[in-house]
Structure 1
Amino acid sequence: MLKQIQEKIDERDNAAYVEFAKGDVETLPDKSFDQLTRELKQVREDYRKIDYLIAKANTDHIFKWEDGDLSIAEAIELAKQLRGEAILLKRFGVRKPMERIQAYHMQETIYRKALFDPGKLKERAMKLEKKANRLSMAIEKQNHQVEVEFYEADKYL
């Protein structure tokens, strides 16, 4: 539906002005600016309805997961959090346990020692990533089982 909104915006932009040479008769667009504004308003209203219905379905539909029962909305957020944490842990996981830091303004050698095991964090990151993927598949499965009644859909199919 976002595509239809953008198409209506573009169509209205094209209908906003008419160009013609002096002495020529201008050719008006098939639809008026006002008509396209009304159509755009309707598509936006329909989009808000379907967006609300999807959000409601995402909070109303619950499924079982390792951490307990989750709504689809909670599961989506959990998947994002798992992926985000996996990215952060991977960054720590590729570091060396001990690094020499080259400081040009200091005379002495400085070392940076990790207060964690990079190998274990990298392994934990991979597990989190797999868990996020499993959760995403479970969300997708739920989404295929959930039906939303949106009678205006025929206008957009």
Structure 2
Amino acid sequence: MSKISLAEAVKLKSILSKRIHELEEEMYRVAFVQIDNGSKIPPQVRTLADVENELDEIRKDFRLLDKLMYQANYENEVQFNQENLTIVEAIELATQLRAKARKCKELGASPKEEPLYPFGDNVLVVKVAMFEPEDYRQKGLELERQANKLSNLINAKNYAIELDFDSEKYF
């Protein structure tokens, strides 16, 4: 059996998903025909059964590919910050780092002190940050750098891992 890298499998899964959607739409196009009452049904290039069979075959390949990808993501590791993480953990950590970086950058864009509105007789209400915005801006940039570093490690690993999957029908 031929092999495919995990990185190629990610792309192929997207291609198969799109093809499944196209075949589901094609089912409706070939399932019905509009004709004048009493007219002969025109010959069709593909029947509903043809489309269903192709769809079943692609769905089967999709399930196999999905299983192989999940297995590879669980069985293989990357090393990040002196810690071995399965790829599935690393993907989640990268997602969490990006979310944390986004929040820190939002806080980092805040002013240290901001007047809100006058309250009553010449009383000014001020919103005061209980943190240093610049520190959070820097923290956000560092977290984003870490997420990018981890994503690159995952990507490199994805190209190194090979799955037993015949992709010649699709590539």
State TM-score, norm by structure 1. Answer: 0.90
Cα distance in 1 for partners of 2:131, 2:41 equals 74
Partner of 2:162: 147
2:113 maps to 1:71: no
Given the alignment, which residue of 21, 27, 31 partners 1:16?
31
Unaligned runs of 5+ in 2: 1-15
Count, aligned residues: 154
Could you tell me how far 1:67 is from its partner in structure 2? 4.7
Could you tell me how far 1:25 is from its partner in structure 2? 2.2
Cα distance in 2 for partners of 1:29, 1:85 equals 55
Given the alignment, which residue of 54, 63, 66 partners 1:39?
54
Q: Which has the higher strand share?
A: 2
Query: Identical aligned pairs, as a percentage?
Result: 30
Partner of 1:48: 63
SS at match of 2:40: coil
State TM-score, norm by structure 2. Answer: 0.83
AA at the equivalent of 1:27: P
8 Å CA contact 2:114–2:128 kept in 1: the answer is yes
Given the alignment, which residue of 94, 98, 104 partners 1:83?
98
Structure with higher RCO (Cα < 8 A, 6+ apart):
2
SS at match of 2:154: helix
Could you tell me how far 1:45 is from its partner in structure 2? 1.9
8 Å CA contact 2:100–2:140 kept in 1: the answer is yes
Cα distance in 1 for partners of 2:22, 2:62 equals 14
SS at match of 2:131: coil
Could you tell me how far 1:82 is from its partner in structure 2? 0.6
Say which is worse superposed, 80-89 or 29-38, in terms of deviation. 29-38
Unaligned runs of 5+ in 1: none
8 Å CA contact 1:18–1:28 kept in 2: the answer is no
AA at the equivalent of 2:170: Y
2:46 maps to 1:27: no
